[in-house]
Structure 1
Amino acid sequence: MGVPIFRGYDRQALDLQYNNQLRVPRHAEHVARWQTESERARSELAGHFDVPFGPSPDETVDVFVPAGRSAPAPVQVFYHGGYWRAFQARDFSFVARPFVEAGAVAVVVNYALLPRVRMGELLRQCRAALAWVERSIDRYGGDPQRIHVSGHSAGGHIVAQLLAPDPDGAFGPPAVKSATALSGVYDLEPIRLSYLQETLALTEEEVRRYSPLANPPALRAPLAIAYGAAESEEFARHSTELAALCHSRGLPCTLEAIPGEDHMSLLSALLEAGSRTRALLLGQMGVA
């Protein structure tokens, strides 16, 4: 064993806690399925793609709308994962299907990736996307009074930060009815100490400023925190510590370790009727 660098983990052990490509045997199969199902969703579901919400080419959303609905629909805004360095919104179009089939509008957010931009700019874009939804979703049949947010992995981190005061002071509290954070990363310090730092190049100031465990949620919208019971000890710690922090602040929050799911299968389960992931997200919206 090498020299411990974080909570008793040496560098090799810490890397393994966060390297889901090594931890999840079917990692590549999950990603391939997401891409296949996303292409299918884009061809089968009614939608408006690459809608700009900001000045840069990365600042776009895909808006999927239910067919045949006349009354304003509830809205789910989804932020994808990829350790802030990988994937695009179009890789996660599959997420829209269960919401659209339940009569809701689904918005999948694209944002610029690290290291081309810094974490502050990435989060600014994500806040700007939500502000755009609040202003504009009625044009697409969505109800601006019933906006819900969700995210997976790095997207879970983004969701937690959306519920926290904007440390840069550019945005006020969002008008969201609920939030769901799946397998999120809420402590950036072990990320800075891991193999991911070679790409992300996080500074100590970014870790302090943008870790949800240091800049926690303050909005009183119900927050559902979930992770796969088969995930690493560190991913479980992130979720349990964030939930404990929210509870200590009197915020409405639930915590759930979903049996049998790992970091990737937890999101893939959204494709399965009857899965706990799907029931959790639809239940948060009141459309289950």
Structure 2
Amino acid sequence: MVTRERIPYGPHRDQWGELFLPAGAGPSAPARTVVVIHGGYWRDKWTAELGLPVALDLAERGYAVWNLEYRRAGSTVGWRGQSDRSAGGWPATFRDVAMGVDHLANLGSRGVDRERVAALGHSAGGHLAVWAAGRAAQAARTGGEKPAVPLVGVVSQAGVLDLSAAHRLKLSDDAAANLMGGPESELAEEYALADPMRRLPTGVPVLAVHSRDDEAVPFELSEAYVSAAQAAGDPAELHETSGDHFALITPGTEAYETCRALLGRLLP
């Protein structure tokens, strides 16, 4: 029987995760662990509820799953005068994802295998998952603090992996500017820190799954990231699938089954 437990990783109301554990998982039998990071173009309209079907499916198949919530940017179209209801955006959203992943270091007694942790991120969650995967390499380059829980790999599900392109294309009413608090022309340094394309190489496998039929996030964003990552020497792969944007997080679809199979490669 799968168990579920909501656990805070910080004091803010959105700093929590829901831990799903498969039958038999425990301190003496830790389960390989997947961090599920939901999408929604970083806006507070969308919550970790998007990750529930995936979390339940993976837990039933033997994974420990950490369905992560985080502070999102306000839902106002554009960034000027946006709502501050959730207090998210740059850099709070990124700090939350880092804190949330690292909180797994405290959950070994519940049955989490802290040495075998991969991320599964959809849409904006794919962006955040790949960003999080680059933390160890970024710390090594800058002398910053190493992550307490490094990721062994990421399956990106139609991830927004090129933040500058998302801003240039004004995807979802310029959600990138809404996340960052302004245009790249005014926040060049911040965009460079937030964009997975600018944090290569990471040394971490990124397996990008995307469909050309996706109308929410262009296929070309995954294509561009994987090309750049491979050129930088990273073990990145692009897996073209079928279906719309949400097929990737719908158990039973071809797109989702591809993602689950790739997770099995990262966490054998």
Q: Please confirm whether the aligned pair reaches a TM-score higher than 0.5, indicating the same fold.
A: yes
**Contact kept in structure 1, 2:165 and 2:221, CA below 8 Å:** no
How many angstroms does 1:233 deviate by?
10
Per the alignment, residue 107 of structure 1 pairs with 66
**Contact kept in structure 2, 1:156 and 1:183, CA below 8 Å:** yes
How many angstroms does 1:169 deviate by?
7.4
**Contact kept in structure 1, 2:8 and 2:17, CA below 8 Å:** yes
The superposition leaves residues 226-256 of structure 1 with CA deviations (integer Å, 9 ceiling, x where unpaired) of 1123125962111111111111111111111
- Return the match for 1:123 from 94, 103, 110: 94
Per the alignment, residue 79 of structure 2 pairs with none
How many angstroms does 1:108 deviate by?
0.5
- Return the match for 1:150 from 117, 120, 123: 120
How many angstroms does 1:92 deviate by?
1.9
How many angstroms does 1:151 deviate by?
0.3
Tell me which moved more, 170-179 or 237-246.
170-179
Q: Aligned residues: percent identity? A: 24
Between the aligned partners of 1:112 and 1:217, the Cα distance in structure 2 is 27
- Return the match for 1:77 from 17, 35, 43: 35
Between the aligned partners of 1:233 and 1:122, the Cα distance in structure 2 is 21
Q: Which amino acid aligns with 2:4?
A: G
SS in 2 for 1:275: helix
SS in 2 for 1:112: coil
Q: Which amino acid aligns with 2:146?
A: G
Between the aligned partners of 1:97 and 1:233, the Cα distance in structure 2 is 25
Structure 1, unpaired ranges of 5+: 1-43
The structure-2 alpha-carbon separation of the partners of 1:187 and 1:272, relative to structure 1 and needing over 3 Å to count, comes to closer
The structure-2 alpha-carbon separation of the partners of 1:140 and 1:190, relative to structure 1 and needing over 3 Å to count, comes to same
- Return the match for 1:88 from 35, 41, 47: 47
Q: Which amino acid aligns with 1:61?
A: G
The structure-2 alpha-carbon separation of the partners of 1:69 and 1:211, relative to structure 1 and needing over 3 Å to count, comes to closer
Between the aligned partners of 2:183 and 2:46, the Cα distance in structure 1 is 23
1:48 and 2:48 are equivalent in the alignment: no
- Return the match for 1:62 from 18, 22, 27: 18
The superposition leaves residues 120-151 of structure 1 with CA deviations (integer Å, 9 ceiling, x where unpaired) of 11011101111111x11212111111111110
1:196 and 2:200 are equivalent in the alignment: no
Between the aligned partners of 1:169 and 1:62, the Cα distance in structure 2 is 32
**Aligned-residue CA RMSD in angstroms?**
2.6
Q: Which amino acid aligns with 2:30?
A: P
SS in 2 for 1:196: helix
Per the alignment, residue 261 of structure 1 pairs with 243
Between the aligned partners of 1:145 and 1:199, the Cα distance in structure 2 is 35
Alignment of 1:216-227 (within 5 A): 216-218=200-202, 220-227=203-210
Number of aligned residue pairs: give it: 238
**Contact kept in structure 2, 1:98 and 1:271, CA below 8 Å:** no
Q: Which amino acid aligns with 2:206?
A: L
Per the alignment, residue 138 of structure 1 pairs with 108
**Contact kept in structure 1, 2:20 and 2:65, CA below 8 Å:** yes
Per the alignment, residue 41 of structure 1 pairs with none
**Contact kept in structure 1, 2:2 and 2:60, CA below 8 Å:** no
TM-score (norm 1): 0.74
Tell me which moved more, 116-125 or 142-151.
116-125
- Structure with higher Rg: it is 1
**Contact kept in structure 1, 2:123 and 2:217, CA below 8 Å:** no
The structure-2 alpha-carbon separation of the partners of 1:263 and 1:90, relative to structure 1 and needing over 3 Å to count, comes to closer
SS in 2 for 1:119: coil
